[in-house]
A and B are shown apart, each in its own frame.
Chain A
Amino acid sequence: MAGALQAATAALLSSTPLKTYGSDRLRLGSAPRSLAGRKGSFLVVRSDAGFGSGSNARTRPGKLIPNAVATKPDASASSTSSKPGHELLLFEALREGLDEEMARDPRVCVMGEDVGHYGGSYKVTKGLADKYGDLRVLDTPIAENSFTGMGIGAAMTGLRPVVEGMNMGFLLLAFNQISNNCGMLHYTSGGQFTIPIVIRGPGGVGRQLGAEHSQRLESYFQSIPGLQMVACSTPYNAKGLMKAAIRSENPVVLFEHVLLYNLKERIPDEEYICCLEEAEMVRPGEHVTILTYSRMRYHVMQAAKTLVNKGYDPEVIDIRSLKPFDLYTIGNSIKKTHRVLIVEECMRTGGIGASLQSAIIKEFWDYLDAPIKCLSSQDVPTPYAGTLEDCTVVQPAEIVKAVEDLCK
């Protein structure tokens, strides 16, 4: 089933076959961990885009697009009716995951601002209030601290709330509840209470949204003990991670990105769940390991096209799990390539990249042939002006240069 899907995907995107990850790549059963062998999730960037693999590189010069987000899918090659699965946008994938879990378990409920009748500010919860009622999809007043606390209190009794922050930055108001109550109650009660809550919302640098609405909260939450953090980047993993987060007994913070909600992808009709602690192998390679997550994945893939044209073979891993890191997948990659580049949207100081860098140095120092490079956003509030905003985040040109420097 998976093989047929991937073959169809390959035909859709390019004339050269993609590397496929079938079941032969997975070690099941006795191995302590499985490979992150997902089917290659493809991105749709522009109608002239596509990405080659290995030596069968496309000869068309890759045009670097500083703001790599989804636009119209490749219209010429797609014929939707004959393919298995169904096509949808990332926010619809999130909604599908949420809908399936709410139908499956009556204890799952949603609370947040404008999630009910308005349908969610990014339409993630559209239609759910009509389907499940006002109590299960609860419109809250603008009181992040207390409705997050309410969600945690409800989770203590056994409900499974999904709390939405309209923008992750607003959850700073709820930091006390998230840190002290959400993260720590399981420990301070000696295991009596579990907090199966999901806290989700869009974050990251958008399109000139201004400093306060462009925050990256993963760097602030990462030291809270007891919390798990994941970041989704494609419709496939968005739905899978949403379902996994809801089913997990631990509190999970699911980071979405404002600019990725309109990504389109074909996902399977059957039910599936992604593992919360696993990283995703986006593009296997030999020369350098590029670790990234969320929106920067697309900048990296954009840079990867140029790199491939220049003869490099980068291995791109979407780390997905921000806390804890999937050091197994990352380590295997480093043992193969011996060079690491981290590309993230967090700020240089105290971000996910900083922690990842230190974890890699601690675990895999002997395997490194060059110092780790970490490309992060600048330590500045995100400016409003478009040109300045582009300078704040990592652009594909910088990624290309960094790989070239690493591989000298």
Chain B
Amino acid sequence: MAMAASRLPSPSTLSSSLSRLLRTSRLFSSLSSDDQTVLNVETSVPFTGHKCDPPPRTVDTTPKELLGFFRDLSVMRRMEIAADSLYKAKLIRGFCHLYDGQEAVAVGMEAAITRRDAIITAYRDHCIYLGRGGDLVSVFAELMGRRDGCSKGKGGSMHLYKKDAQFYGGHGIVGAQIPLGCGIAFAQKYSKEGTVTFALYGDGAANQGQLFEALNMAALWDLPVILVCENNHYGMGTAEWKASKSPAYYKRGDFVPGLKVDGMDALAVKQACRFAKEHALKNGPIILEMDTYRYHGHSMSDPGSTYRTRDEISGVRQERDPIERIRKLILSHELATAPELKDFEKQVRKEVDAAIAKAKESPMPDPSELFTNVYVKGYGVEAFGADRKDLKGVLP
């Protein structure tokens, strides 16, 4: 069976084409002397804690980090909007759940942890995959079902995985990833790795029984798992107040401490995740509730306006958009000028378009791929009897 000849570029942060962009961009080349400056920024709202002392509201950051946030957020936003167009052009089929509006959670989380910590999430996973070091070509190829996709085209939008970066996907069934996340944390504790697992779920999944089962076990055994509720206030078409008796998801853990975070503020997310990692390594599980918002509907088949008003959506876009917040910070600290940022965004758009073009060139999977990876390497454990000389056979 012929393997795909092309090899994906090894990703640096986002993609090698993007790192080329960074090196040539004026925006970033001026930074080399300024790396040591520390900026103190206050988060938009203070943290609220449940059975824990919340971390301080002031976050340390550097110009390089802020510009990096801007870059990552822009690429993620651009990717999701491009995916929207591809879906409408019927190049992406089936389910496509877009993350635009929620990018700050992915970006802030990555800033606080290492690639040895694990992340597992549900089906709104495109940007988390990117944040974990996935590159644009493999995302678009997977969305279009092509051979060069990260799951060889066999997974689709809801099944993006990156094993070498400890990204465990990518799951379609609401809530089923939470026990998996606790299992990964169990393995981390078993192997004494000193790393943590972030298990992301939504406000809809917060009413799943398996969440509470998993919480109980995680607290019982002090598993280093951080449960992150990305509360975008709507479980598909159902508003949170219609589905949950208590929409204070950070308190739902009862005996497990919780923290409520403004999920549209990447720096607040970073602070909270760093705090949570320290907590989980010492004291066991903690719940983070990210107060966030999605601009698109639940998926591409949902217009997103039948259960909420357009005013609400545009209001959030004006007041709380994550990219605008970072842009304002950059401009106020005079790290770049507005035209420079605009130019950068144009370049990001070009890069994303180039990635889409490259992904479109990738062929569909070979029909023989239908049967590969169902089992590992065919079947068969080698069998042997008590006398290893006879009664031995290996089935193909």
- Which one of A29-37, A48-56, A253-261, A360-368 contacts B? A29-37
Interface membership of B1, Cβ < 8 A: no
CB–CB B379/A276 < 8 A: yes
The B interface is mostly helix, strand or loop, or mixed, namely loop
> Do B190 and A154 touch (CB < 8 A)?
yes
Q: Does A208 contact B (CB under 8 A)?
A: no
A168-227 contacts to B (CB < 8 Å)? 176-177, 180-181, 185-194, 225-226
Q: How many residues of A contact B (CB 8 A)?
A: 71
A22-B390, A154-B190, A269-B386 known; A249 and B217 CB under 8 Å? Answer: no
Binding-face segment, B43-51, B83-91, B177-185 = B177-185
**Contact residues in A for B179 (Cβ distance below 8 Å):** 145-150, 152-153, 177
Complex Cα distance, B191 from A157, in Å, reads 10
Beta-carbon contact of A277 and B380 below 8 Å: yes
Known contacts A145-B213, A148-B179, A150-B186; is A276 also within 8 Å of B380 by CB?
Answer: yes
Residue of A158, A181, A247 near B180 (CB, 8 A) is: A181
Q: How far is the CA of A270 from the CA of B396 in the complex (A)?
A: 26
- Verify if A57 is at the interface (C-beta below 8 Å from B): no
Residues of B within 8 A of A194 (CB): 376
A391 at the interface (CB under 8 A from B): no
> When A159-B190, A189-B159 are in contact, do A273 and B381 touch as well, CB less than 8 Å?
yes
Q: B391 to A278, Cβ gap below 8 A?
A: no
Contact in complex: A153, B184 (CB < 8 Å): yes
Indicate if A405 sits at the interface (CB-CB under 8 A). no
Q: Is the beta-carbon distance between B374 and A226 smaller than 8 angstroms?
A: yes
Contact: A26 with B210, CB < 8 Å? Answer: no
Instruction: From A159, A177, A186, give the contact of B187 (CB < 8 A).
Output: A159
Q: For B393, give its contact among A33, A248, A249 (CB under 8 Å).
A: A33
Q: How far is the CB of B146 from chain A (nearest CB, A)?
A: 12
Q: Are A28 and B183 within 8 A (Cβ)? A: no
List which A230-267 residues lie within 8 A (CB) of chain B: 240, 244, 247-250
> What is the bound-complex CA distance between A368 and B345, given in angstroms?
72
Interface set, chain A 1-55, CB cutoff 8 A to B: 1-2, 22-23, 26, 28, 32-35, 37-39
Provide the bound-state CA to CA distance between A274 and B186, in Å.
30
Q: Out of B173, B184, B390, which one reaches A23, CB within 8 Å?
A: B390
The reply to whether the CB of B241 lies closer than 8 angstroms to some CB of chain A is no
Known: A190-B150, A193-B163. A38 touches B391 (CB 8 A): yes
Q: Which residues of A contact B375 (CB under 8 A)?
A: 186, 226, 228, 250
CA–CA, A385 to B84, complex, Å?
A: 61
Contact with B along A330-351 (1 / 0, CB 8 A): 0000000000000000000000
User: Are A181 and B171 in contact, with the CB atoms below 8 A?
Assistant: yes
Given contacts A180-B173, A248-B381, whether A155 and B217 have CB atoms under 8 Å apart is: no
Q: With A33-B395, A248-B381 in contact, do A188 and B176 touch (Cβ < 8 Å)?
A: no
- Name the B residues within 8 Å of A34 (CB-CB): 392-395
Q: Is B307 an interface residue (CB 8 A)?
A: no
**Beyond A2-B390, A159-B187, is A153–B163 a contact (Cβ under 8 Å)?**
no
What 1/0 flags go to B88-132 for Cβ under 8 Å of A?
000000000000000000000000000000101000000000000
Q: Is the CB of B178 within 8 A of A146?
A: yes
CB-based contact B389/A23 at 8 Å: yes
- Cα A270 to Cα B389 with chains together (Å): 12
Q: Does B216 contact A (CB under 8 A)?
A: yes
Report the minimum CB–CB distance from A29 to chain B (whole Å): 10
CA distance in complex: A324, B188 (Å): 33
A270-B386, A277-B395 known; A150 and B163 CB under 8 Å? no
Q: Does A122 contact B (CB under 8 A)?
A: no
Chain B residues whose CB sits within 8 angstroms of the CB of A151 once the complex forms? 183
Instruction: For the complex, give the distance between the alpha carbons of A80 and B220 in Å.
Output: 46
A38 to B383, CA, bound (A): 11
Q: How far is the CA of A109 from the CA of B118 in the complex (A)?
A: 21
**Residue among A149, A180, A181, A186 making CB contact with B376, cutoff 8 Å:** A186
B322 within 8 A of A: no
Which of A2, A146, A159, A278 sits near B383, CB closer than 8 Å? A278
- When A and B form their complex, which 3 residue pairs have the shortest distance between CB atoms, in order from nearest? A153-B183, A149-B179, A34-B393
**Apart from A28-B392, A145-B209, A275-B382: 19 A-B pairs, beta carbons within 8 A:** A23-B390, A23-B391, A26-B390, A38-B391, A138-B221, A150-B186, A150-B217, A153-B186, A154-B183, A156-B168, A187-B154, A188-B151, A190-B150, A190-B155, A228-B375, A244-B383, A273-B382, A275-B380, A275-B381
Residues of A within 8 A of B (CB): 1-2, 22-23, 26, 28, 32-35, 37-39, 85, 109, 135-136, 138, 140-141, 143, 145-159, 176-177, 180-181, 185-194, 225-226, 228, 240, 244, 247-250, 268-278, 324
